[in-house]
């Protein structure tokens, strides 16, 4: 990975950060205790990435899509290009499966392991999700333990943050009815070409 720029942006869950390079997004930073700490953490993770405000248009489009997703819109982020150079092959494969899980749905660590051809690799899948440098874009919060157990979440706020993200997406994680579950969900792609206005 060769990070070039980073930006901070406001969302419904707090200030998030995004770092990118020539080959795509190199990392996402979820909110820390406050905006200053989020920026500090992002700069520490990607010291070679210059603060870029405003970000270039293709990054601004990703930021807008992530912001919409975090307000409860079922936005499809699978078209966002990630720079995964140098990252473990198993992790990349596990993240690819997780990226196929749409907003409002979940998958278990064991199911991902099964899809990767090794049903006994659930712990390795858990480690891959814990090492995910692209949270939200790679939706590790949608990956649960067996029987819908929340499992872990390495971002600030831990399991409570994971539960909040799932609640925003109106994901069913148990038999309890969901608030507003009768509202329709339309999946939108952030990479659709927008038609020019009148």
How many Cβ atoms from other residues are within 10 Å of residue 50's Cβ?
11
- Rounded-to-integer distance, Cα 152 and Cα 162, Å: 8
Residues 6+ apart with CB under 8 A from 132: 91, 95, 138, 140, 154
What are φ and ψ of residue 154, in 5° steps? -85, -10
Is residue 115 reached through a cis peptide bond, with omega within 30 degrees of 0 on the bond before it? Answer: no
3-state secondary structure at position 163? helix
Of the candidates 190, 5, 187, the one whose C-alpha atom is nearest the C-alpha of residue 103 is 187
Structure tokens, 73 = 């819109």
Contact 80, 190 (CB under 8 A): yes
Cβ 66 vs Cβ 76: under 8 Å: no
Based on the residue annotation, tell me whether 16 is a catalytic residue of this protein: no
Residue from 8, 160, 170 nearest 73 by CA: 170
Catalytic residue among 62, 70, 77, 140: 140
Question: Which of the residues are catalytic?
Answer: 140
């Amino acid at each position: 990975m060769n990070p070039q720029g980073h930006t901070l942006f406001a969302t419904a869950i707090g200030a998030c950060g995004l770092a990118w390079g020539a080959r795509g997004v190199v990392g996402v930073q979820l909110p820390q205790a406050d905006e200053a700490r989020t920026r500090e953490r992002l700069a520490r993770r990607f010291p070679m990435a210059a603060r870029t405000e405003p970000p270039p248009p293709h990054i601004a489009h990703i930021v807008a899509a992530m912001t919409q997703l975090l307000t409860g819109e079922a936005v499809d982020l699978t078209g966002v290009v990630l720079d995964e150079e140098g990252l473990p092959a198993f992790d990349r494969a596990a993240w690819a499966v997780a990226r196929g899980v749409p907003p409002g749905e979940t998958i278990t660590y064991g199911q991902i392991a099964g899809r990767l051809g090794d049903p006994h690799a659930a712990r390795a899948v858990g480690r891959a999700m814990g090492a995910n440098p692209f949270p939200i874009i790679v939706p590790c919060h949608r990956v649960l333990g067996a029987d819908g157990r929340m499992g872990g979440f390495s971002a600030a706020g831990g399991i409570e943050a994971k539960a909040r993200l799932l609640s925003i997406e109106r994901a069913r994680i148990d038999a309890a009815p969901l608030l507003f579950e009768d509202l329709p969900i339309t999946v939108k792609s952030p990479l659709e070409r927008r038609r020019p206005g009148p």
